[in-house]
Amino acid sequence: MSYLWSLLVKAPLVIAATIVMGTLSVALSFFDASGRRQHAVSRAWARMLLALGGARVRLQGLERLDPTQHYVFAGNHLSLYDTPVVLASIPFQFLFLVSARYVKLPFLGTHLRRSGHFSVDSDDMRASLKVMTAAARRIEERGLSVLLFPEGRRSADGRMQEFKEGAAYIAIKAQAPVVPFALRGTREILPVGSIHIRGGPVDFIVGEPIQTKGMTLKDREILTALVRERVTQLLEEQLAERIPA
């Protein structure tokens, strides 16, 4: 019964919300060069999807962030529902660094392009470096934050994969702090390859920012390893808190 409800009710409502809010975002893009209104629409869309999916987000660590600062957010990737969770939870305007395949999708892809989000093709290293350099420049020039999932793709089995160096590259080029974050529970809401949207709790934990002042691009491997280590620690600490002693 729950599967039929998800297939016949939840999924069509998610698609409808994406079409409506994506169209509204594109329309607003012609009147708002700053992207603030589009970001507000994105956050409203995210809250809709969380409500439709029955996801209950438990947010921790937001007090660690300075609202006047700009960051590179980097964390683990478990589900398509990671995107609405981070959008609804982070109260800053930020841009995504996403796979090029997402900008080809109807409505969502148009929104991503018109909102100034960055897309990368993992098969074209030279083009990816240009995009990451542009993302770093956007942080410096406009004071915007950037968010990406350094694993590059969703983890089908829930185990965290190795991190790519994109987050470290952008952060070092912009001399911006990296904020590690950890997600738990989104895989249970919507597993990879499934269309069955389930309800349930989601933990979103924001870690202490990692400063990059003085780092050079030679340090990106070290920084990447440190960010992954911090994300792992956040997940372990969260799990320890949920398991009774």
pLDDT tens digit at each of 245 positions of the chain? 577 778 778 888 988 998 899 888 888 888 888 888 999 999 999 999 999 989 999 999 999 999 889 999 999 999 999 999 999 999 988 988 877 676 677 766 677 777 777 777 776 778 888 888 888 888 888 888 999 999 988 877 788 999 999 999 999 999 999 999 999 999 999 988 888 898 899 999 999 999 999 999 999 999 999 999 999 999 998 877 766 54
Helix (H) or strand (E) holding 184: strand 178-184
**Cβ pair 80, 100 in contact under 8 A:** no
Q: Compute, in degrees rounded to 10, the torsion defined by CA atoms 70, 56, 18, 116.
A: 10
Estimate the share of the chain in helix, then strand, then coil, as percent rounded to the nearest 5.
50, 15, 35
Residue 124's pLDDT is what? 72
The answer for residues whose C-beta is within 8 angstroms of residue 124's C-beta and 6 or more apart is: none
- Where are the domains positioned within the chain? 2-242
Residue 1's pLDDT is what? 53
**Cβ pair 148, 166 in contact under 8 A:** yes
Give the three-class secondary structure for 193: coil
Cα–Cα distance, 62 to 130 (Å, whole number): 31
**Cβ pair 182, 75 in contact under 8 A:** yes
Say what angle helices 166-174 and 220-242 make with each other, to 10 degrees.
110
Residue 123's pLDDT is what? 67
DSSP 214: T
Identify the bridge partners of residue 148 per DSSP, sorted by sequence position: 74
Topology, domain 2-242: Glycerol-3-phosphate (1)-acyltransferase (3.40.1130)
Residue 245's pLDDT is what? 47
The answer for residues whose C-beta is within 8 angstroms of residue 5's C-beta and 6 or more apart is: none
Q: Write the DSSP assignment of 37-58 as a string of letters.
A: HHHHHHHHHHHHHHHHHTEEEE
